[in-house]
Structure 1
């Protein structure tokens, strides 16, 4: 019973860590990275569609990204979706076949803003992990009548270790993203 709860907690905490890492990937660094466009939704014939389903992404140069649509009629919609992206600061250009996105150089002030943004995303991830911990701990306490207090204490100890491990994973990813952002 306790093993099932801990296994479920581990899976949910793993998802929270992955979600935090995906959030980090959407914050741009000095280089062009196709992951920045991971959450871009394009209005394709009236339906919001993920950009990855409509085009291939490549970065031929450090600060340039090329978006090649599978359907040329979606070119304008893709260009508009990229232009409307918050926190990007890039102006895409369309040559009739592809959309070229040149990423401007990040200023020191902008880098610091992005670091704050990433720290906030990391804190959201930590809160999700702690939320899972709180729910599982409540479930363990509810089992007090069926299982002995020693077993519950052991389960809580394992749960705390699991929580610490996942929070540390988020902190490690944060540290990596921060160094990427501050790298000139």
Structure 2
């Protein structure tokens, strides 16, 4: 078992958790809210960001400018059906999403959602650790690695695990601060 592989897998998990956090609303306009929106375009689901330019002209508005004007109604429908909870307004060439200020109740819900996403990330990190430790033990049993070396490798994997979980906790704290800041 290579430590670099384990570190790479853990880093990818941290990045995936960060992307999940980006999809949670904070009360400010952020184009990453639309990352999961898929548009039924010519019979196949297509990511919104590949069909339109998305920008934030101010702190409470997201503007979506389709590359193909004929797709504007499809994009509007996809946003309405998505789980982001925003109502699009269409002026014929641009779709605007107004981000309403969050209520304290809604903020608490988003903090809980962020906590769940963070826990999923921690579990994924722990699963990577478990797999790595199992692989090291198998190598030790088969004689590929000495007992001392196996213990050192397991310690390194544990240190990587602790560091990765601390990073996820740090990202969670930042996201919670973003959500609760009015």
TM bracket, shorter-chain basis: over 0.9
Between the aligned partners of 2:162 and 2:82, the Cα distance in structure 1 is: 35
| 8 A Cα contact 1:79 1:99, kept in partner | yes
Q: Does 1:122 align with 2:128?
A: no
TM-score norm. by structure 2 comes to: 0.97
Q: Does 1:48 align with 2:34?
A: no
> How many residues are matched?
180
Q: Does 1:137 align with 2:172?
A: no
Q: Where do 5+ consecutive residues of structure 2 fail to align?
A: none
Aligned counterparts, 1:1-184, within 5 A: 2=1, 5-86=2-83, 88-144=84-140, 145-184=143-182
Q: Moved runs in structure 1, 4+ residues, more than 6 A? A: none
Q: Where do 5+ consecutive residues of structure 1 fail to align?
A: none
Between the aligned partners of 1:23 and 1:72, the Cα distance in structure 2 is: 30
Between the aligned partners of 1:60 and 1:79, the Cα distance in structure 2 is: 19
TM-score norm. by structure 1 comes to: 0.96
| 8 A Cα contact 1:89 1:104, kept in partner | no
Shift of 1:89: 2.4
Between the aligned partners of 1:176 and 1:83, the Cα distance in structure 2 is: 29
Between the aligned partners of 1:138 and 1:126, the Cα distance in structure 2 is: 18
Q: Matched residue of 1:115: which SS?
A: helix
